[in-house]
């Protein structure tokens, strides 16, 4: 049982000392009086002493009890289950939605149609939530407590447990900034229940999570606590398919919302608290970008390169989705800015400049919610080719890439692709950032037959010759070819390569294969073909064991020439391999190009522990490991495949090898394999979600680099592929996509801990090229005299990287960030974008929403409190543009209701009255006032 | 000496005189009021004044004589006083006979005054009792005590008896006899009586039984004993003492002198009360015990009175706030009735 006014109770209990003091003060020492008839006095005293003593103590007890009961009655005792001394006051938990939808701006008619809520044209939903929260705080008295939890994922329990320092709560409330993540009401309620359970148990080891949701215990009395939810609860902030955790018994949920919605068209001063009322109308039309997908994640700017094409996915939500619409999309390629700590050089001074741009239009049909537009990048006027190899090529009059000069003199720099939509009511999701690496050249090593001879007829060409021709079909090529001595394959040599082609694997010493495995794990591309001249392929064991592949490669080639109908290459095995497809750029023409190719000999591969039947994708995405550990599976199309030998292909490392068939023969035999090596250690889990930080387009499992194994040697005795048109695009795409996928263009959704690149020690915000450059911040506010990109508002200035390689703090704000190592050198650019799921601005079905909230309330159905026109002072709001927001009228009613729920107060008063009468009678009797007749 | 202002309530009256009358007799009665008596520094003067006040309304001539009348002869037995031998009968009959007389001489009055500690209590201030400005009385006390009231009464009775030729003896006692004046009918003994009475109570309890035994051992003829005391003693002891007095053929008048506050117990609040006879300090809630006190007090008074009445003794209760007429009137009435009985025999 708790009380409403603990202070009064304490004062009253202290007042019990008053009758006790009076009792003892009345027994003060007085001067003795001489008396003659003492024998009668003594006898009378002896006879009455016991009775008088009882009367006296009874009177004292009655007086003390009377004072205590009066104090208790005034303190408004509450019948309940909790007795926490800290909870005698009222407690309000403010759950403020600062997720992405909280940045929705009020409608154009805000000046006159805001329903008396004191909005301005620039006010956002978060502004309304904060103002309503301030109004709630104004309703609290001294001694009441307030907690504050921000719903933007991951939730920020700013003030939990609740604090009685209400001015400080107001100060923190004013400092609340929006995030670009989703709202996580589930986590907030779980956190709330955890705190309540901890406060009720009084121990730090209170259970958390759903187990704690049933705990009965508020910070004090749950009947004097309320959870005030300040959110518009659009689709992006709700998940009606997932039930909310139930609050502790007696803890009521109050949802404060704007009955007028964002439209500003509802009549003012007529708040509606019926969620079924369609006028709630929180839904707005909103277009947003969900993804940017460049053709290649490494943009090569060297001579002979063509312009980049980028696919931008645009989605829309709101009531307008039923109609046809077009959304213009603007695309920019911008050099990433440097952090202030980075040394400024002439070359790096080009960072931040626009390199290329493009535009397109996303067209939506009726009911269509998502559309993809392909936008070619064109060099910007300011992107002058003044540095790097591109400049030399230009001077020589060779073909120059439209993006030549974008990369720095080192030939390896970062840029950011930014997609922009026209500003709407929710501008935060109209921008999307994707870091992309600029490379002027790719360096490719070749271990094969000697090329120090003049090229003769096609019959005399060897595999290395064919590869060289395919890699550099023209003199101006960004692909640089380096012949390597297989005996000199050391780490230093490999570090300078982007890819390594091996046509004579039998010449690679066995100790070099683990080094090649490290090369692949570090992001290198390794293409291995069987040696054309070998009759018995004894090198395969060293190859598979050195790389840790769970493959068994036959030692003798399978001769297909004896077949009456030679097998033909039939193109990609997986019709939809996803964004990590190495052959994506030529996938459309692959079937036509592969059909005329004949294959005469293959070196069959049998994979142990794999479950990737030919013709079906092994993984829908890149790098998803196949963790099945079943018996060896012979791939279809490998008739001669045999189970792997014991200890071969079944090692612990090989179990995690991810293999993907890329091309297959007409009989289903896989002709070209792609594999990612198992990582040395598991990636760190995201503290916020418990999952690996999703990075679309990133290889999250397996090695960064790719191992490609072509089962036929690039020799006309094995296959006529080298002489066919597919050879050049196939090799080119394998190189470009393979290298690109080892350096994926990563972006992260807001609201998670960022995985930092290796050796990073800190993450710093960068100027955001997504801002419009006209002095307008993300929130739309314009700062005079300020132009250019801005750093993310509310972003942490510098965040350390922990031992697990994750940022020490979650990133809730979208923007660009740069990872630096201990020396201050850049280790990578990280893009954080809004959570597309949070951009769904449709309004959920009202009845379902109410049921969803009802299930969470611990005391009856949810109270839906409008931001009504009743001001805090009880006077009507003077004008719609008033600086104050009306308090939720029913919130006060809530607490009044709560206090009236206690019947014990009335009974106490009656009991006090009865006891007072008894005390009067006792006092009258004890005083013997009528003995003398006066 | 100018007559004092008449009191508002004399508190008593006796036959032949009204307290508020305009006659000289009525005015003379004012002399019996304690306010008048307390003005007198001398106990002698107080007594005379009392007597004047009483006699002025009772007798025209207080000097009426009495003779000794012969009653019978009886044979002599050894040990008889030879002074009562009738020598004429011895001469005529040669036998020894003693003459016996009807004792109708003056009354033998023995006044016993209690001077125990409880008699020193008095709630009435001397200033109030006397009407004088000084708060201290001539005897150095602030209050008109029960002992003051008793000694004034004793002195007055003695003076009345002496003036009528009676023999008067006075004793002051507590738990023992403190001082005595042998019975005498000489007016010259008046000064001695006053001297014995001019004392103060002592911090001792009353022991009437012992004192009675001591007194009765000295008495050879019948006396009228007037005992002035508050009788704050066990009623059984009092009854026992009175029974002895009756057994010896003496008459007695018990005059219980009380203070008005003792009879009303109008104290308030919690008080530490200290006894005057060595009782311990007792903290009491006066109003809480008042009923019980008064009940015990009245029961005791009734018991003492019953003991006296049961032995055909007179019992008077005086308050320090009352006039002194009642005891003297009772004394005179008692004396008259005895004379009547003697004549009837």
Q: What ipTM was reported for this prediction?
A: 0.75
- B27 near B19, Cβ under 8 Å? no
Burial level of A538, CB count in 10 A (0-12/13-18/19+)?
A: exposed
Q: Omega into B45 within 30° of 0, i.e. cis?
A: no
Strand partners, A815: A832
- Asked if B201 is an interface residue toward chain A (Cβ–Cβ < 8 A), one would say no
Is the pLDDT score of B207 beyond 80? yes
Q: Taking all residues of chain B, what is their mean pLDDT, rounded to a whole number?
A: 76
What is the greatest pairwise CA distance in chain A?
154
* Contact residues on chain A for B274, CB-CB shorter than 8 A: 32-35, 38
- Asked if A40 is an interface residue toward chain B (Cβ–Cβ < 8 A), one would say yes
Nearest to A33 among B273, B290, B300 (CB): B273
* Contact residues on chain B for A37, CB-CB shorter than 8 A: 118, 121, 230, 232, 262, 293, 297
Q: What is the pLDDT of residue A787?
A: 34
- Asked if A322 is an interface residue toward chain B (Cβ–Cβ < 8 A), one would say no
CA atoms within 13 A on the CB side of B159: 23
What is the DSSP pairing of strand A762-765 with strand A706-710?
Answer: unpaired
Is the pLDDT score of A181 beyond 80? yes
- Asked if B293 is an interface residue toward chain A (Cβ–Cβ < 8 A), one would say yes
Please tell me the least confidently modeled range out of A369-378, A415-424, A769-778. Answer: A769-778
Flag if A44 and B289 touch (Cβ within 8 Å): yes
Top residue of A35, A48, A57, A932 to mutate, by most chain B CBs within 10 Å, is A35
Please tell me the least confidently modeled range out of A24-28, A577-581, B10-14, B189-193. Answer: B10-14
* Contact residues on chain B for A41, CB-CB shorter than 8 A: 273, 282, 284, 289, 293
Token pair in block for residue A494: 């490999």
* Contact residues on chain A for B292, CB-CB shorter than 8 A: 43-44, 47-48
CA atoms within 13 A on the CB side of A76: 18
Q: What is the pLDDT of residue B111?
A: 93
Q: Among candidates A228, A234, A258, A255, which has minimal Cα distance to A117?
A: A258
Chain A nearest-CA distance from B198, in A, is 20
Contacts 24+ apart (CB under 8 A), A238-242: A238/A183, A238/A185, A238/A844, A238/A849, A238/A852, A239/A186, A240/A844, A240/A845, A240/A848, A240/A849, A240/A852, A242/A186
* Contact residues on chain B for A27, CB-CB shorter than 8 A: 270
Nearest to B270 among A27, A40, A42 (CB): A27
Most confident of A306-310, A911-915, B173-177, B330-334: B173-177
Q: What is the pLDDT of residue A77?
A: 66
Is the pLDDT score of A269 beyond 60? no
Average pLDDT, stretch A482-497?
Answer: 87
Is the pLDDT score of A608 beyond 70? no
Q: Which residue of A has its CA nearest to B117?
A: A36
* Contact residues on chain A for B288, CB-CB shorter than 8 A: 48, 52, 926, 928
In three-state secondary structure terms, B268 is coil
Average pLDDT, stretch A849-858?
Answer: 84
Flag if A41 and B282 touch (Cβ within 8 Å): yes
Average pLDDT, stretch B274-280?
Answer: 86
Q: What is the pLDDT of residue B5?
A: 38
Flag if A38 and B276 touch (Cβ within 8 Å): yes
Strand partners, A94: A148, A228
Is the pLDDT score of A629 beyond 60? no
Q: Taking all residues of chain A, what is their mean pLDDT, rounded to a whole number?
A: 71
Flag if B297 and A37 touch (Cβ within 8 Å): yes
Rounded-to-integer distance, Cα A140 and Cα A228, Å: 13
Flag if B288 and A48 touch (Cβ within 8 Å): yes
CB-based contacts of A813: which residues, under 8 Å, 6+ apart?
A: A177, A179, A180, A750, A792, A793, A794, A795, A832
Chain A nearest-CA distance from B238, in A, is 15
Chain A nearest-CA distance from B256, in A, is 13
Place of tokens 């922990």: A802
Token pair in block for residue A819: 């990872």
Nearest to A38 among B273, B289, B300 (CB): B273
Token pair in block for residue A725: 């048109």
Q: Omega into A514 within 30° of 0, i.e. cis?
A: no
Chain A nearest-CA distance from B262, in A, is 7
More confident residue, A53 or A698: A53
pLDDT in tens, A703-712: 778 899 999 9
More confident residue, A527 or B342: A527
* Contact residues on chain B for A924, CB-CB shorter than 8 A: none
Q: What is the pLDDT of residue A631?
A: 32
Chain A nearest-CA distance from B122, in A, is 8
Chain B nearest-CA distance from A934, in A, is 11
Whether pTM > 0.80 for this model: the answer is no
How confident is residue A829, by pLDDT bands cut at 50, 70 and 90?
confident
Most confident of A212-216, A704-708, B204-208: B204-208
Flag if B274 and A929 touch (Cβ within 8 Å): no
* Contact residues on chain A for B282, CB-CB shorter than 8 A: 38, 41-42, 45
Interface of B with A in 260-289 (CB under 8 A): 262, 266-268, 270-277, 279, 281-282, 284-285, 287-289
Flag if B274 and A927 touch (Cβ within 8 Å): no
Token pair in block for residue A507: 């010449």
């Amino acid at each position: 049982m708790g009380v409403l006014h603990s202070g009064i109770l304490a004062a009253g209990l202290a007042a019990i000392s008053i009758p006790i003091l009076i009792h003892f003060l009345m027994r003060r020492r007085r001067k003795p009086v001489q008396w003659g008839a003492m024998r009668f006095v003594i006898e009378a005293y002896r006879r009455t002493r016991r009775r008088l003593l009882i009367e006296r103590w009874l009177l004292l007890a009655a007086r003390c009890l009377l004072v205590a009961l009066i104090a208790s009655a005034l303190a408004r005792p509450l019948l309940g289950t909790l007795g926490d001394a800290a909870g005698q006051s009222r407690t309000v938990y403010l759950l403020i939605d600062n997720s992405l939808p909280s940045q929705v701006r009020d409608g154009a008619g805000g000046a006159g149609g805001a329903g008396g809520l004191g909005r301005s044209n620039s006010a956002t939903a978060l502004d309304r939530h904060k103002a309503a929260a301030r109004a709630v705080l104004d309703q609290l008295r001294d001694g009441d407590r307030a907690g504050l939890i921000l719903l933007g994922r991951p939730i920020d329990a700013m003030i939990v447990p609740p604090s009685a320092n209400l001015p400080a709560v107001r100060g923190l409330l004013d400092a609340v900034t929006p995030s670009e993540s989703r709202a996580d009401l589930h986590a907030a309620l779980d956190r709330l229940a955890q705190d309540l359970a901890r406060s009720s148990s009084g121990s730090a080891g209170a259970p958390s999570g759903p187990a704690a949701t049933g705990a009965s215990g508020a910070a004090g009395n749950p009947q004097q606590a309320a959870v005030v939810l300040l959110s518009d609860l659009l689709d992006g902030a709700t998940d009606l398919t997932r039930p909310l955790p139930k609050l502790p018994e007696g803890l009521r949920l109050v949802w404060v919302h704007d009955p007028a919605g964002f439209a500003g068209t509802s009549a003012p001063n007529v708040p509606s608290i019926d969620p079924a009322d369609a006028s709630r109308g929180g839904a707005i039309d909103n277009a947003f970008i969900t993804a940017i997908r460049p053709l290649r994640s490494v943009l090569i700017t060297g001579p002979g390169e063509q312009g980049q094409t980028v696919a931008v996915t645009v989605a829309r939500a709101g009531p307008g989705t039923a109609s046809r619409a077009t959304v213009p999309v603007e695309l920019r390629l911008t050099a990433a800015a440097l952090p202030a700590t980075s040394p400024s050089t002439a070359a790096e001074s080009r960072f931040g400049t626009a390199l290329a741009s493009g535009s397109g239009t996303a067209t939506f049909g009726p009911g269509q919610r998502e559309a993809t537009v392909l936008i070619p990048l064109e060099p910007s006027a300011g992107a002058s080719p003044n540095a790097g190899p591109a400049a030399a090529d230009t001077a020589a009059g060779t073909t120059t890439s439209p993006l030549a000069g974008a990369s720095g003199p080192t030939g390896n720099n970062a840029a950011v692709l930014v997609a922009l939509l026209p500003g709407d009511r929710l501008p935060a999701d109209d921008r999307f950032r994707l870091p992309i690496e600029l490379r002027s050249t790719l360096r490719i090593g070749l271990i094969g037959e000697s090329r120090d001879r003049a090229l003769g007829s096609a019959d005399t060409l060897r595999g290395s010759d064919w590869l060289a021709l395919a890699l550099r079909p023209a003199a101006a090529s960004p692909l640089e070819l380096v012949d390597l001595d297989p005996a000199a394959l050391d780490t230093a040599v490999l570090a300078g390569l982007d890819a390594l082609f091996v046509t004579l694997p039998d010449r690679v010493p066995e100790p070099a294969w683990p080094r090649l495995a490290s090369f692949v794990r570090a992001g290198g591309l390794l293409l291995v073909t069987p040696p054309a001249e070998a009759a018995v392929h004894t090198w395969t064991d060293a190859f598979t064991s050195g790389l840790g592949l769970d493959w068994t490669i036959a030692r003798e080639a399978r001769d297909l020439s004896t077949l009456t109908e030679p097998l033909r290459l039939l193109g990609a095995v997986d019709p939809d391999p996803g964004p990590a497809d190495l052959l994506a750029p030529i996938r459309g023409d692959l079937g036509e190009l592969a059909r005329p190719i004949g294959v005469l000999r293959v070196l069959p591969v049998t994979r142990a522990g794999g479950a990737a039947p030919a013709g079906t994708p092994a993984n829908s995405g890149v790098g998803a490991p196949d963790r099945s550990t079943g018996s060896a599976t012979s791939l279809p199309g490998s008739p001669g495949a045999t189970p792997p030998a014991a200890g071969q292909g079944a090692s612990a490392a090989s179990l995690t090898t991810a293999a993907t068939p890329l091309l297959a023969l007409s009989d289903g035999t896989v002709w070209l394999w792609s594999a990612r090596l198992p990582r040395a250690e598991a990636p760190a889990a995201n503290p916020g979600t418990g999952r690996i930080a999703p990075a679309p387009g990133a290889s999250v499992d397996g090695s960064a680099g790719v191992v490609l194994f072509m089962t036929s040697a690039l020799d006309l005795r094995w296959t006529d592929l080298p002489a066919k048109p597919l050879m050049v695009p196939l090799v080119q795409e394998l190189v470009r996509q393979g290298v690109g996928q080892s350096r994926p263009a990563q972006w992260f959704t807001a609201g998670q801990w960022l995985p930092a690149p290796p050796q990073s020690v800190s993450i710093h915000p960068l100027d955001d090229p997504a801002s419009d450059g006209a002095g307008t911040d993300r929130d739309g506010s314009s700062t005079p005299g300020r132009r250019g990109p801005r750093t993310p508002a509310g972003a942490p200035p510098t965040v350390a990287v922990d031992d697990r390689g994750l940022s020490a703090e979650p990133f809730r704000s979208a923007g660009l960030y740069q990872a630096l190592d201990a020396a201050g050198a850049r280790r990578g650019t990280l893009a954080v974008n809004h959570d597309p799921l949070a951009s769904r601005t449709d309004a959920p079905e009202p009845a379902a929403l109410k049921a969803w909230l009802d299930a969470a309330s611990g005391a009856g159905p949810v109270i839906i409190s409008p931001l009504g026109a009743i001001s805090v002072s009880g006077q009507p709001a003077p004008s719609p543009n008033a600086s104050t927001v009306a308090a939720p009228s029913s919130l006060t009613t809530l607490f009044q209701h709560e206090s009236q729920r206690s019947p014990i107060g009335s009974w106490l008063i009656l009991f006090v009255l009865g006891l007072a009468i008894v005390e009067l009678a006792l006092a009258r009797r004890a005083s013997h006032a009528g003995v003398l007749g006066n | 000496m100018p007559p004092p202002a008449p009191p508002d309530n004399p508190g008593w009256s006796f036959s032949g005189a009204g307290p508020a009358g305009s006659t000289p007799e009525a005015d003379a009665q004012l002399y019996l009021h304690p306010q008048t008596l307390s003005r007198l520094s001398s106990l002698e003067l107080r007594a005379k004044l009392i007597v004047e006040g009483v006699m002025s309304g009772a007798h025209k001539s207080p000097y009426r004589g009495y003779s000794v009348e012969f009653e019978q002869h009886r044979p002599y037995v050894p040990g008889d006083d030879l002074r009562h031998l009738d020598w004429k009968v011895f001469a005529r009959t040669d036998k020894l006979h003693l003459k016996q007389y009807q004792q109708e001489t003056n009354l033998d009055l023995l006044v016993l005054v209690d001077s125990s500690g409880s008699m020193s209590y008095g709630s009435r201030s001397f200033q109030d009792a006397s009407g004088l400005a000084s708060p201290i009385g001539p005897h150095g006390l602030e209050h008109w005590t029960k002992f003051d009231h008793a000694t004034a009464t004793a002195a007055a009775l003695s003076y009345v008896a002496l003036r009528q030729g009676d023999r008067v003896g006075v004793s002051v006692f507590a738990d023992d006899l403190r001082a005595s004046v042998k019975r005498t009918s000489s007016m010259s003994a008046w000064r001695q009586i006053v001297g014995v009475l001019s004392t103060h109570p002592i911090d001792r309890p009353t022991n009437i039984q012992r004192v009675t035994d001591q007194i009765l051992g000295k008495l050879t003829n019948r006396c009228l004993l007037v005992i002035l005391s508050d009788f704050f003693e066990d009623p059984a002891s009092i009854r026992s003492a009175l029974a002895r007095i009756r057994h010896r053929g003496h008459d007695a008048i018990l005059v219980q002198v009380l203070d008005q506050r003792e009879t009303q117990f109008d104290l308030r609040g919690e008080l530490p009360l200290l006894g005057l006879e060595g009782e311990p300090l007792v903290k009491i809630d006066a109003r809480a015990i008042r009923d019980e006190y008064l009940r015990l007090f009245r029961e005791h008074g009734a018991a003492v009175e019953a003991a006296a009445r049961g032995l055909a003794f007179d019992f008077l209760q005086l308050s320090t706030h009352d006039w002194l007429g009642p005891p003297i009137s009772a004394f005179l009435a008692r004396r008259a009735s005895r004379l009547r009985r003697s004549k009837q025999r």
